[in-house]
Chain A
Amino acid sequence: MRFIAKECVTQLCDSPGEENLLMHVPEGVKSQWHHIENLDLFFQRVYKLHQKNGFTCMLLGELFELIQLLFVVGFTLFLANCVDYDILFANKFVNHTNSSKVTLPDAFIPVDVCTARIRDNAFVMFVLLISGVFWLHRMVKFFYNVCCYWEIRSFYRNALKMSMSELPYATWQEVQARIVEIQKEHQICIHKKELSELDVYHRILRFKNYMVAMVNKSLLPVKFPLPVLGEYVFYTRGLKYNFELIFFWGPGSLFENEWSLKPEYKRGVNRHDLANKLASRILWIGIANLFLCPVILVWQILYAFFSYAEVIKREPGSLGARCWSLYGRCYLRHFNELDHELMSRLSKGYKAASKYMNCFLSPLLTVLAKNVAFFAGSMLAVLIAFTIYDEDVLAVEHVLSSITLLGVCITICRSFIPDEHMVFCPEQLLRVILAHIHYMPDHWQGNAHRSETRNQFSQLFQYKAVLILEELLSPVVTPIILIFCLRRKSLEIIDFFRNFTVEVVGVGDTCSFAQMDIRQHGHPAWMSEGKTEASIYQQAEDGKTELSLMHFAITNPHWQPPQETTHFLSQLKERVHREVAAGDTHHYSLSESEPRSLIANLLTGPSTLGSVHFARDASLANHAAAGLNDSASALRSLSPVSGSLSAVHKGHASSVSKAMAGSGTDARTVSSGSSAWEGQLTSLVLSEYASTEMSLHALYIHEFHKQQSRGELPRHTWHRQDSDESSESIPDEVRSEPPPRSRTLPRSYTFPTAAPSPSEIPKSASDTSTNTTGQEGTKSAADRRPDILGGGSKFVRTARVPMGGWADNNAAAPRYPEPLPEESSDDDLPPHIHKVT
C-alpha cells in the first residue's frame, strides 16, 4: 500500500539494466512563488507596491522622506540655536571695514558656541535623541523594505508579468485578476486550487474589517459626551494604534499570530477570566502610554509631519480646510474595501461635503466678518495706494508686515462670508454626498438643514486644524480613554471576538461580518428582510452588510458569491433596474411635490422640468425610483463617463439612468460572459461605471430603508416636512423603549425569527457548509444581560446616536428565547471549525 506523489507512482523494476529503469523528468521549481509562507503579508505588500506605483517610486519616495526628516530636524535646530537674531534684525551693528551691508554669515553663531549651546539644553537634547531614534527606525525600516519589496517586484515581473513601468496604469482589479490566475499555476496558497477575490481582500483587510465592524457595532469608545461640546468623537491615530496593539499584535494580544485568534478566546468557558486579563492588560498599556507621553508627543509630531505629507499627496481634497476624519473613514468604510477604493469614494464626495458644510455659516459670524473685512480692506487699500504712489512707504517699519497681515485677515474673513450665488439646499447636497459616502444615520434624511445634522456630519468631516489639534492632544487623552473607557468594555470585546470570528479554510480567522453573509448579519430594515436570520446583536448597523456586499460585487464583477448571496444581488439589481424604469411613468401621476433636486434640475435641463413628480404618499416604488432618478441625474454630472453616456442618450433623464443602471447590471450579472462590454471598455472605464452604479444602489437601498422605516410610523407619514422632522427624529428614541417595539417593524420583527431554534442550526449550517458561532452569539447576548444591564431594568440610550447597537441590544436581550440548552455542553467542545469555501 504505497501512495506516493503522482510523479513517482510508476512502479520501478529492480533489474540492473539501466535502460529498463523508468526515467522521470523533474518539473523543478519553476518559480519561487509557490507556497508562500505568510500570505497576509505578501498580499499586503503586493497591494502596497501597487498603490505606491512601483518599486522605484516607492524607493525614491521613502529615501526622500528620510532626507526630509534629517533636513527638518537639522534646520529647525539650526534656526533655534545657531542664528544671532539681533544681527539679523539689525538691532545690533556689525563692524565691517569695507561695507555696511550685513551678510548672512554674519548672523551665524560660530560652530563651537552653537554646539555648546545645544549640549547644555536638556530639552533640545531630548528631542534630538528621540528624533535620532525615530530616524534610525525609519532607516532600518527602509532597508528592510527594500529587501522585501525587491522580492515583490520580481513577483510582479516574473509571475504576474507586469513591468514596474506599467504598474501605475494598471488597476488593482487587473493585478488581482492576475494573482487569481497564477494561483492555478503556482499554488501560492496551498489550501485551495483557486483563489477568490474575497480571499485576497480578507487577507489584506483582516484587521481593518474587525475595526470597521467594531465601530459599526459601537464597541470602541470613540464617542464621548462632553459637558459643553455635546457628543464628541475622539479617534486619533494614536488611539487607533493602541487599539490595534491591544487587539491584534501587541504582546499578549487576542491574536496568536497574524491569521488566527488564540484558541482560548474562541471558547466561551472562561470569558470572564479572559475579560479580566484583557482589562488588566489595557490598564498596563494605558499606564505605559501615560509615562511615555512626552516621547510619544515628539514622535507624534515627527510622524504627523510625514503622514500628512502623505495624505496631501494622495488626497486631492486635503488641501481644503476640511478632511474626512479618521472616525469617518472607519464609519464610512465598507467591509472589504481597500484603501484606494475608500479614498476615491470619499474624495468624490469631498466637494459636495464641503459645500454642505459651508451652507451652515453662522449669520452672526458673517456680519462680523463682513465688517472686519471692510475695515481691514480699506486700510489695506490705502497702504497699497501709498505704495504705488511711492515705494519708500515699504521701507517704513512694519508697513510690509501690516500689508501682509491685513491680507491674511481679509482672506480669513472671506471664508466666513457665504458666496453670494450660493443656494441653500442642504437636502440635495446631502443626497449627493450620500451617493458617494454610502452611509448615513437614518435621522439625517429630511433633517439636513438642522444644525444637529451638521454637527454630526462634522464628526465625519472635520476641520483639519481640529484634526491636528486632536492628534497633538492624543498622547494625553489616549491613556485616559484606555484606562477609563476601553477597560470597561473588555467583556464585550472578548464576546465580540468570540462571536464574530470565523475560520475560513485557506484564509484563517476573519471577522464574520466581512463574509458579508446576508443570512448571518443582514439587517431586516435594509432589504434583507426574510433572508436574514441574524439577531439584533448580529445585525450590522446602517445596512453595512448589504451595502458592503453590493459594493464588493460591483467592484469585483468576477467574484462568484455563494448561492443565496447571488440571489440577493440579482434581486436587488433587478429591482433597481425596474424601479428606475417604473419611475419614468409614475412621475406624472403624483400629487404633492417635494423640493426637487436643484442640481438634478440644472443638469437634466428642460426635458424633465415638466415632470412634477413624487410625493410623500407615493408608493415605495415610486418614491425610491424618483429619488433614484434625481440622484442619477445628479450623479451624471459628477462622473465624466456617464456624462458622455448622457450625450449619447440625449433625451429623457430617466431613460439615461435606466440605461445606466440596466447596462451596468448586465455587465456585471453576466460576469464572465460580458464580452461585449469588456471588449469595448477598459477596466478603468468599467470601474468608473462601477462607482456610479454603486452610488445608484446605495441611494436605492437608503431610499428603500427610509420608506420602510417611515411605514412604521403611520401617523406622521402624511404630514409635510415640518412634522416629518419630528417623526424622523423620533424613531431612534422610540426604538429604545420596549413597549412600542411591536410597532417598529423591522427590528422587532426579527425577534422570533432571528434566534434560530436549536434544531434549525445544524441544518442550515450544513446547507452552505458555513458554520458560525451564531448559537453562541445569541446566547452570549442573553447571558451577558446581567453584567451590563444590571437586571435589565435600565437602559441608557444616548439620544440619537446614529448607530447605537449596544444599548438597543441590551434592551432586546431579555426577550431572547434561549437558543441552546446549556452553556457547558457547548463550551467544552473545541472551538467551532468553520469551513467556508
Chain B
Amino acid sequence: MWHCKPHNALRFCQTHFATPTARAMNCRSEVLEVTVEARQVEEAMLALLHTILLHRSTGKFHYKKEGTYSIGTVGTQDIDCDFIDFAFVRVSSEELDRVIRKAVAEFKDALSVSGSDGMGQISLEFYQKKKSRWPFADECIPWEVWSIKVNVVNLANEQERQICREKVGEKLGEKVINVVEVINRHEYLPKMPTQSEVDNVFDTSLKDVQPYLYKITYQITDSLGTSVSTTVRRLIKDTLAL
C-alpha cells in the first residue's frame, strides 16, 4: 500500500476546511485527515487534540465582587513524540492530559480491534449547555466540531517507516498551522459568562485549566447512517411539531 510513493499515500493528508456533512446545523465544523501508521495513531491524535484544546482553554476564572473576574495562568509544555518526528505544545495540565489520553487510547484500541481497514474518525466537539425549563432536559448545543479522520496504513520495511516518520511529522506541522489559522478567524465563540453561568460554557472540573466544554467521540467505520434511535426520536418530534 505504501509503495515508496509517500506523497501519493499521504494525499489524504490535505486538510479540507469545508463545511462537512452537518451533524448539527448551527455549528462550525472542521475536518482534518491524516494517514498514519498504526503505532503513530496515539501520538498523532494526542498532538492534534492537544493543539486544539490549547487554544480553546483559558486559565481558571476567579470571580470577584461587582461581577468582574480575573484569569489564572496556564502553563504550556513541549511534548516530543516517539514515533513521529514531531513536537507539540500542550497545556501543562496532567488532569486534562489524562482525560485526553484515555479517550485516545480507547479509540486506538477500537481501531485495532475492528477489521475495517483502519479507517476511523475521532471528533472533538465544543458545546454549550442551555438550561431548559422543566419538561425538557438541558440541551447541549455544539458550536464547533473538529473531526479528525484517520487512515491507518501498514508498512513493509524499516526504510518506509523512516520516511513515514518524517512525512507524518511534516503533515502534522501543517495541520497545527491550519488549526491556528482557523482559530485565529474571528468567529463565533460563546460569550464570557457570569459566575452563575460559567458551568454552561466552561469545563470547570479541572484544577489548573479551564477549557470550553468539550466532548470526545469516535467512530470506527465510515457508516454515517442514522441509527434507529435517532430516527424514532425524529419521528416523534416530527409528529409533534405543528
Q: Do A and B come from one complex?
A: yes
Name A's B-contacting residues (CB within 8 A).
1-8, 12, 14, 18, 21-30, 32, 34-41, 44-45, 48, 137, 140-141, 144-145, 147, 187-191, 249-252, 256-260, 262-263, 503, 505, 508, 830-831, 833, 835
Selected contact of A260 from candidates B22, B73, B242, CB within 8 Å: B22
- Asked if B25 and A29 make an inter-chain contact with CB atoms under 8 angstroms apart, the answer reads no
- Could you tell me how many residues of chain B have their Cβ less than 8 Å away from some Cβ of chain A? 60
Selected contact of A1 from candidates B180, B191, B194, B224, CB within 8 Å: B180
B24 within 8 A of A: yes
Selected contact of B58 from candidates A4, A37, A48, A140, CB within 8 Å: A4
B7 within 8 A of A: no
By secondary structure, the A interface counts as: loop
Selected contact of A137 from candidates B16, B130, B239, B241, CB within 8 Å: B239
- Nearest Cβ on chain A to B30's Cβ, whole angstroms: 13
Selected contact of A3 from candidates B70, B136, B183, B240, CB within 8 Å: B183
Which residues on the B side are within 8 Å of A28 (C-beta)? 67, 191-194, 197
Interface with A: B95-103, B108-116, B159-167, B230-238, which one?
B230-238
Contact with A along B1-31 (1 / 0, CB 8 A): 0000000000000001011011011111000
- Asked if B188 and A8 make an inter-chain contact with CB atoms under 8 angstroms apart, the answer reads no
Which residues on the B side are within 8 Å of A30 (C-beta)? 191
Contact residues, B192-207 vs A (CB, 8 A): 192-195, 197, 200
| 7 residue pairs from A and B, CB less than 8 Å apart | A2-B55, A23-B70, A35-B26, A35-B128, A37-B25, A141-B240, A251-B235
- Asked if A141 and B70 make an inter-chain contact with CB atoms under 8 angstroms apart, the answer reads no
Query: How many Å lie between the Cα of A144 and that of B184 in the bound state?
Result: 41
- Asked if A32 and B187 make an inter-chain contact with CB atoms under 8 angstroms apart, the answer reads no
Closest to A831 in B: B21
- Asked if B224 and A263 make an inter-chain contact with CB atoms under 8 angstroms apart, the answer reads yes
Closest to A4 in B: B58
Which residues on the B side are within 8 Å of A188 (C-beta)? 26
Query: How many Å lie between the Cα of A284 and that of B208 in the bound state?
Result: 57
- Nearest Cβ on chain B to A483's Cβ, whole angstroms: 22
Query: How many Å lie between the Cα of A21 and that of B73 in the bound state?
Result: 11
- Asked if B133 and A147 make an inter-chain contact with CB atoms under 8 angstroms apart, the answer reads yes
- Asked if B242 and A48 make an inter-chain contact with CB atoms under 8 angstroms apart, the answer reads yes
Selected contact of A23 from candidates B69, B188, B195, CB within 8 Å: B69
Which residues on the A side are within 8 Å of B18 (C-beta)? 833
- Nearest Cβ on chain A to B232's Cβ, whole angstroms: 8
Query: How many Å lie between the Cα of A140 and that of B242 in the bound state?
Result: 11
Which residues on the B side are within 8 Å of A141 (C-beta)? 239-240, 242
Which residues on the A side are within 8 Å of B64 (C-beta)? 23
- Nearest Cβ on chain A to B10's Cβ, whole angstroms: 17
Query: How many Å lie between the Cα of A40 and that of B241 in the bound state?
Result: 12
- Asked if A26 and B69 make an inter-chain contact with CB atoms under 8 angstroms apart, the answer reads yes
B173 within 8 A of A: no
Query: How many Å lie between the Cα of A1 and that of B128 in the bound state?
Result: 25
Which residues on the B side are within 8 Å of A37 (C-beta)? 24-26, 130, 139, 141
B77 within 8 A of A: no
- Asked if A5 and B234 make an inter-chain contact with CB atoms under 8 angstroms apart, the answer reads no
Closest to A188 in B: B26
Which residues on the A side are within 8 Å of B242 (C-beta)? 45, 48, 141, 145
Query: How many Å lie between the Cα of A38 and that of B133 in the bound state?
Result: 17
B79 within 8 A of A: no
Which residues on the A side are within 8 Å of B157 (C-beta)? none
Which residues on the B side are within 8 Å of A250 (C-beta)? 235
- Asked if A505 and B19 make an inter-chain contact with CB atoms under 8 angstroms apart, the answer reads yes
Closest to B63 in A: A26
Query: How many Å lie between the Cα of A35 and that of B195 in the bound state?
Result: 20
Closest to A58 in B: B242
Which residues on the B side are within 8 Å of A831 (C-beta)? 21
Query: How many Å lie between the Cα of A208 and that of B108 in the bound state?
Result: 44
Query: How many Å lie between the Cα of A137 and that of B239 in the bound state?
Result: 9
Query: How many Å lie between the Cα of A2 and that of B188 in the bound state?
Result: 18
- Asked if B188 and A26 make an inter-chain contact with CB atoms under 8 angstroms apart, the answer reads no
